[in-house]
Amino acid sequence: VVMQAGRIVESGAVAEVMSAPSHPYTRKLLDSVPGRHGFAAPEAVESRDEAPLLRVSNVSKVYFGQPRLFSKAPQEQLRAVDDASFTLRRGETLGIVGESGSGKSTLARMLLGLDAPTEGTIEFEGRNLTGATAAETFKIRRRMQFVFQDPTASLNPRMTIQQIVAEPWAIHQGVLPREQWRARVAELLEMVGLKAEHADRHPHQFSGGQRQRIAIARSLALNPDLIVCDEAVSALDVSIQAQVIDLLKELRRELGLSYVFIAHDLALVRDFATSVIVMYRGKIVEQGPTAEVYGAPRHDYTRRLLAASGAETGSKAA
């Protein structure tokens, strides 16, 4: 049964509805499934010779279990991220994929400086994040923004959209004079496909997809170089997923943004990322340009992920 705006627009046997949808909305939904039409090759990246935006060297994160009193057993350890190394160049989009629990969010938090690595170093434009002073960290933060999975949890329900999008300017003073906030919020909202008059509403007055657009508008407020998206579209339905990805692509083109884009769905990353990392139990088991990883996966786990998402045939996803 396919529903739209509270009404059943189509119903029938699965095979029938899938292969011969009669309602335009059903066709639109099916069209939005990632990989259904094969994949567009991601845009090439220029200026390969400049210093990478992000360099991650041998980074690990170890979580320790509860120490047990009177027990001689060694304390339990979990290597949530184990010896990860990669670089991200300006303009690139790095996709990080792997099943739930593989260490993706732990890695994302370390990239953003929200959590410190147990071992290894992370450099942003050659500056070490781990050794940075508070003032340096504050400056670097401005250039790296994030969009998380759940826009309901990441947007304060008591604030208006105006306050939410303008908040970074209140924190990073001197970036934009207060009298320009109103106009700039209006511009940012229009940039992400919303309207200027939405600024006076509250988050609950928007749909999930719209809320994620608001989170993206806020992430753009400080003109960042890098946006880390952790499962940013995973909670959205497929047609909205495609719209938000299109928006991210457009912003990449217009603003020259770089992304780290984390997802558990391989198909989603395929026509968006320029390179891909596959994580499995904290380890990077495969990495390379998107076309190579998808075209000739070396690791068994990558092959299994590809098979599971239907990304390898480009049509099984539906």
Cβ–Cβ under 8 Å, residues 261 and 93: yes
Query: Which of Mg ion, ligand ADP, none does residue 63 bind (CB under 5 to 8 Å by kind)?
Result: ligand ADP
Which residue, 90 or 264, is less far from Mg ion as judged by CB? 264
Q: At what angle do helices 24-32 and 238-255 cross, to 10 degrees?
A: 60
- Least spacing, CB of residue 300 vs Mg ion, in Å: 22
Pick from 66, 71, 100, 173: which binds ligand ADP (CB under 6 A)?
100
Query: Which of Mg ion, ligand ADP, none does residue 106 bind (CB under 5 to 8 Å by kind)?
Result: ligand ADP
Query: Which of ligand ADP, Mg ion, none does residue 309 bind (CB under 5 to 8 Å by kind)?
Result: none
Pick from 101, 131, 177, 256: which binds ligand ADP (CB under 6 A)?
101
Q: Tokens for 143?
A: 């250039």
Stretch that binds ligand ADP, among 42-50, 97-105, 157-165, 304-312 (CB under 6 A): 97-105
Pick from 26, 60, 102, 105: which binds Mg ion (CB under 5 A)?
105
Task: Return the closest-CA partner of residue 278 out of 258, 267, 293, 260.
Answer: 293
Which residue, 11 or 58, is less far from ligand ADP as judged by CB? 58
Pick from 60, 93, 105, 274: which binds ligand ADP (CB under 6 A)?
105
Which residue, 100 or 133, is less far from ligand ADP as judged by CB? 100
What is each CA distance from 66 to 62, 74, 106, 225, 266, in whole angstroms? 13, 11, 19, 39, 35
Contact between 116 and ligand ADP (CB under 6 A)? no
- Least spacing, CB of residue 75 vs ligand ADP, in Å: 13
- Least spacing, CB of residue 27 vs ligand ADP, in Å: 33
Pick from 21, 91, 95, 103: which binds ligand ADP (CB under 6 A)?
103
Contact between 106 and ligand ADP (CB under 6 A)? yes
Stretch that binds ligand ADP, among 96-104, 144-152, 194-202, 203-211 (CB under 6 A): 96-104
Q: Which 55-84 positions form the footprint of ligand ADP (CB under 6 A)?
A: 63, 78, 80
- Least spacing, CB of residue 235 vs Mg ion, in Å: 12
Which residue, 105 or 290, is less far from ligand ADP as judged by CB? 105
- Least spacing, CB of residue 132 vs ligand ADP, in Å: 22
- Least spacing, CB of residue 189 vs Mg ion, in Å: 28
Contact between 104 and ligand ADP (CB under 6 A)? yes
Determine the distance from the C-alpha atom of residue 11 to the mean position of all C-alpha atoms in its chain, rounded to a whole number.
34
Separation between Cα atoms, residue 240 and residue 293, nearest integer Å = 26
Separation between Cα atoms, residue 125 and residue 51, nearest integer Å = 7
Binding site for ligand ADP (CB under 6 A): 63, 78, 80, 98, 100-106
Binding site for Mg ion (CB under 5 A): 104-105
